[in-house]
Structure 1
Amino acid sequence: MSFARSIEQTDPPRPPRETLPTMYDLPSEDPEEPGLPDEFHDFQPELLRITFQPPSHQPEQVFSASDMNLYYDVRYPNWYKRPDWFGVVGVPRLYEGRDLRRSYVIWQEGISPVVVVELLSPGTEDEDLGRVERENDQPPTKWQVYEKILRIPYYIVFSRYTECLQVFTLQAGQYQELDLREPKIWMPDIGLGLGLWQGEYAGIHRLWLRWYDAKGHWISTEAEQERQRAEQERQRAEQERQRAEQERQRAERLAERLRFLGVDPDEDTP
């Protein structure tokens, strides 16, 4: 067989995206991890997901997740972080437009999150705030991954114990904490703001992290929208009832005036 013939029979190299592991190949959970620490880590990310509605993107081009493996380095495909919540814009809501995600794999998706939220707990506070150092042969910390590898523009840290909100933004490649005059941050990149809202969610009244729009209005949940529609319908029904009562009173006053003039309003006119 000639050299030219052997080249003809050699398959062309496959693109890296096809040869690297996908979310189907990588584990989506670690049985050694202790899991979610409390109910707040269930409810708060859900409220963030429901109200994360960037006006610059259609809903089918917005993805967010909580407690999902985020694979970040193609050189070490088994390394991942597990943010309490993160949001991405410009990617299909479904993986490749057809499947629910098991994990978020950067080298498959091609787009890093625009914002990540960590909810402080006593066991994770030092790492979440960048106070932990790792040796060169160890995986990087969350802080290092978010800042240096993924370069996530907004890193939000909230403690439900102290009700303290901290916001870090990338400036010259490093996270700098913002001096917040109010517990909120506007993100022009996505046309949304994130702040602390005092109210009731999931039957619990407390401070929650919540998204708001350009007018400063908190983004409504579907349940709130339904309650608003029901209240508007109740108000319309009340207005109709009041108008009907006013008409009845006007008719009664007219009847009284006719009787005063000697005209029986109930008598049929010829």
Structure 2
Amino acid sequence: MVQHNPEIRLPTSAELPCSDDTPVDNEDQNFIPNFLLFLLEFIWGNRLDWYFGVDMGVYHTTGVNPRVPVVPDGFLSLGVERRKNNGSRSSYVLWEENNIAPIFVLEIVSHTYGGEYDTKMAIYANLGVLYYVVYNPNFWRRDQEQPFEVYRLVNGSYHLQIGEPFWMPEIGLGIGRFVAQVGGIQREVLYWYDAQGVRYQTGEELAEIERNQRELAQQQAELERKRSNEMAELLARYRDRFGDLTQD
């Protein structure tokens, strides 16, 4: 539960670094959270009550020092300003966000283990993060876990959930894996899903579908035109040979 002693002077976001400056050691740690953010901007383009942070420090008062952040690969908060004071955030400082903790956190396990299954899990539970997703496509055997795990906070502890895509009613989104052509490369990525389990597609994918439908319509129109021409030619040859049967 997020709380602090009002007698303690807390630093402002301007005084705090944006992250812990720990470099990521694989491409997915940057790409996948940014991909989810890109999709959210498309899905929730008309909403201003959410914020999705990528590799950004989350400052809180539930740890040993409010100046020490936890840095998720990605996180989603609801009921906050889309853009803080019409600008961008350098970090997510809970005491400047009405103590609204993220409702969703994503961690992507890399070659260097980052405490995703213990240390960070305990921090997020203490913060009150409702949904915690651990994506571990490459090292799940090493860690004796599953490649994709969704945890839900129940009575202060995380419980592994079943089902994929997994629907999160408090958020109004589901999440799951899908192998797609992204940026010219076929790869497994995480996508948002609707309540029926239908994957939200990117603008690029929708444009490709529209392009294919347009090409198919053009091909069908061309086929009909050819059939019409062939029928007219056949009828003309028939008339040349047998005459116009409509006349006595």
TM-score for both structures, normalised by structure 1:
0.75
Q: Which residue of 2 aligns with 1:159?
A: 136
Whether 1:225 and 2:206 are equivalent positions in the alignment is: yes
1:70 to 58, 65, 79: 58
Name the CA distance, whole Å, in 2 between partners of 1:224 and 1:208: 14
CA positional deviation for 1:58: 3.9
CA positional deviation for 1:53: 6.5
- Alignment deviations for residues 175-194 of structure 1 (CA, whole Å, 9 cap, x no partner): 1222x2x4431101122111
Name the CA distance, whole Å, in 1 between partners of 2:56 and 2:41: 20
Aligned-CA RMSD value:
2.6
For the structure 1 residues 250 and 22, does the alpha-carbon distance in structure 2 shift closer, same or farther, using more than 3 Å as the test? farther
Counterpart amino acid of 1:151? G
Q: Which residue of 1 aligns with 2:68?
A: 79
CA positional deviation for 1:55: 6.9
Matched pairs, number = 229
CA positional deviation for 1:232: 1.8
Q: Which residue of 1 aligns with 2:3?
A: none
- Alignment deviations for residues 2-55 of structure 1 (CA, whole Å, 9 cap, x no partner): xxxxxxxxxxxxxx8xx853322321144xx44111112122112222233797
Is the CA contact (8 Å cut-off) linking 1:55 and 1:191 kept in structure 2?
Answer: no
2:195 to 202, 214, 227: 214
Counterpart amino acid of 1:146? Y
Name the CA distance, whole Å, in 1 between partners of 2:166 and 2:42: 14
Q: Which residue of 2 aligns with 1:26?
A: 16
1:105 to 93, 114, 132: 93
Q: Structure 2: which 5+ runs fail to align?
A: 1-5, 141-145
Q: Structure 1: which 5+ runs fail to align?
A: 1-15, 131-140, 264-270
For the structure 1 residues 245 and 22, does the alpha-carbon distance in structure 2 shift closer, same or farther, using more than 3 Å as the test? farther
TM-score for both structures, normalised by structure 2:
0.81
Q: Secondary structure at the match of 1:160?
A: coil
Name the CA distance, whole Å, in 2 between partners of 1:234 and 1:22: 55
Write the mapping of 1:229-244 to structure 2, written as runs, cut at 5 A.
229-244=210-225
Is the CA contact (8 Å cut-off) linking 1:186 and 1:193 kept in structure 2?
Answer: yes
Whether 1:146 and 2:124 are equivalent positions in the alignment is: yes
Give structure 1 regions of 4+ aligned residues with deviation exceeding 3 angstroms: 19-22, 52-59, 74-77
Counterpart amino acid of 1:251? A
Is the CA contact (8 Å cut-off) linking 1:28 and 1:102 kept in structure 2?
Answer: yes
Q: Which residue of 1 aligns with 2:154?
A: 171
Which is worse superposed, 33-42 or 200-209?
A: 200-209
Q: Which residue of 1 aligns with 2:226?
A: 245
The structure with more radius of gyration = 1
Name the CA distance, whole Å, in 2 between partners of 1:90 and 1:246: 59
Whether 1:45 and 2:33 are equivalent positions in the alignment is: yes
Counterpart amino acid of 1:60? L
CA positional deviation for 1:74: 8.2
Is the CA contact (8 Å cut-off) linking 1:57 and 1:89 kept in structure 2?
Answer: no
